[in-house]
Amino acid sequence: MSWFFNNKTDFVNVKILDNFYQTSSFYPMPVVICSTLSDSGLTNLGSYSLCFPFGISKDHYMMLISRSTSNTAGNIRKHKTIALNFIPYDKAYLKNAVELGYPGETTEEKLAESIFTLIPTSRDESEKQAGLEYPDIIKESVQIFECTVDETDIFKYDGPEIEAHFLLKIDKIIMQEQYADYLKAGEGFPTLPVDFGYRDSKQFWFSKHSHPYAEPIPKGKGVNTDAVQYQVERMEGAVKWHPDAYKKLVKVPRIFLKMVIGKINEAAKTEGIDLVTPEFLDKVNAKR
């Protein structure tokens, strides 16, 4: 009767093949349509999944791994600019993403088969760097990271013939208003596709994620400043907070947090202070 029970709990060895993430594992990835400038001045569109956050605190970077000879890689090396367009889950878009993921096509051929609407970069003149030109972006995107390539030696692996790694500095993130509202409210998610890759050399596999649920961080795991930091980062205005200052507010009930932070920012502004420190909070508290 062993067939009756699902008792297949033993691990077996899996051979590590090239492109191991999709051939030798189940690895959920994003779907990003990279737009770059081609030599003819047209915007090229290429599908990419190996595109992940790389520098996340002070400097904000993405890492893109591309076939060394792709249009995208060539365009980034030359023009130094790229936009990462996150398309929503939609089977027609994903079908087109697979078409745009076929190696060897020219930009003109790709544009002829693309179903996406191209619009100019969202950068205004003050956000443009002298001497740089920027690719168009995809109107149907949920969010877009507009980036420039960082060619310092923090990480360099424009690897031997096969793969190239590009460090992309995020200059600007734009998002459809509805989703930006979700972000501010801390509730709601866009439906983004999950790519499991080109597993069997015949087809790509995508899924739609189900609605995310919230799993609170256990109480007693030490002082958790996440909620404070989260709220501080979502407030309008130029006042910045030193990370040590978050700790001072961990006992403020969630529903009052926004109001309290707003008042502190106002006090900082009135006093001409642009960095909220623990000492400043002590001062505000003493006055109160």
Residues that bind ligand FMN (CB under 6 A): 31, 44, 46-50, 65-67, 70-72, 97-98, 101-103, 195, 204
Antiparallel, parallel or unpaired: β 275-276 and 240-241: parallel
Catalogue the long-range contacts made by 205-210 (C-beta closer than 8 Å, 24 or more residues apart): 206/31, 206/89, 206/94, 208/89, 209/89
Q: How far is the CB of 103 from ligand FMN (least distance, A)?
A: 4
Q: Between residues 103 and 272, which has the closer beta carbon with respect to ligand FMN?
A: 103
Q: Between residues 70 and 148, which has the closer beta carbon with respect to ligand FMN?
A: 70
Give Cβ neighbours of residue 89 (< 8 Å, ≥ 6 apart): 191, 192, 193, 206, 208, 209
Q: Between residues 104 and 216, which has the closer beta carbon with respect to ligand FMN?
A: 104
The torsion angles phi and psi of 199, rounded to 5 degrees, stand at -65, -40
Alpha-carbon distance of 71 to 47, in angstroms, equals 11
Q: How far is the CB of 212 from ligand FMN (least distance, A)?
A: 22
Q: How far is the CB of 111 from ligand FMN (least distance, A)?
A: 10
Q: Between residues 32 and 245, which has the closer beta carbon with respect to ligand FMN?
A: 32
Q: How far is the CB of 284 from ligand FMN (least distance, A)?
A: 48
Q: How far is the CB of 210 from ligand FMN (least distance, A)?
A: 20
Q: Between residues 64 and 232, which has the closer beta carbon with respect to ligand FMN?
A: 64
Q: What value, to the nearest 5°, has the Cα angle with vertex 116 and ends 127 and 74?
A: 60
